[in-house]
Amino acid sequence: MKLYLISDNIDTLTGMRLAGVEGLVVHESGDLKEALEKTLADKEIGILLLTEKFGREFPEIINPVKLNRKFPLIVEIPDRHGTGRKPDFITSYVNEAIGLKL
């Protein structure tokens, strides 16, 4: 199985290409839909990496794929500008998951 990246900027794609991950850069929702359909049709792709910006700006496109498909696994990654998460998001996640305050 392969990894594939759909990014909103060339810097993230360049860095991932150095690690051997293929991908493409898109900026518009229509281009994202087209790239996503193409990627989902490729049965060799097991993990699809998306920059976090897509999850924030186009949840109506990304969420149905995340919720209704088993493959590929969709992982949102931060881009070169950093993450959109709070600094203590891991602690908050664990607190919500197990019901204990750490």
1, amino acid identity: M
Confidence of residue 37 (pLDDT cuts 50, 70, 90): very high
Domains of the chain, residue spans: 2-98
pLDDT at 102: 58
- CA nearest to 1, candidates 70, 52, 83, 51: 70
Q: Are 55 and 29 in contact (CB under 8 A)?
A: no
pTM: 0.76
Task: Write b or e for each residue in 72-84: b if 16 or more Cβ atoms lie within 10 A of its Cβ, otherwise e.
Answer: bebebeebeeeee
* pLDDT tens per residue, range 11-34: 889 988 998 999 999 999 899 999
Q: Please tell me the CATH superfamily of domain 2-98, with its number.
A: ATPase, V1 complex, subunit F (3.40.50.10580)
Residues in the chain: 102
pLDDT at 16: 87
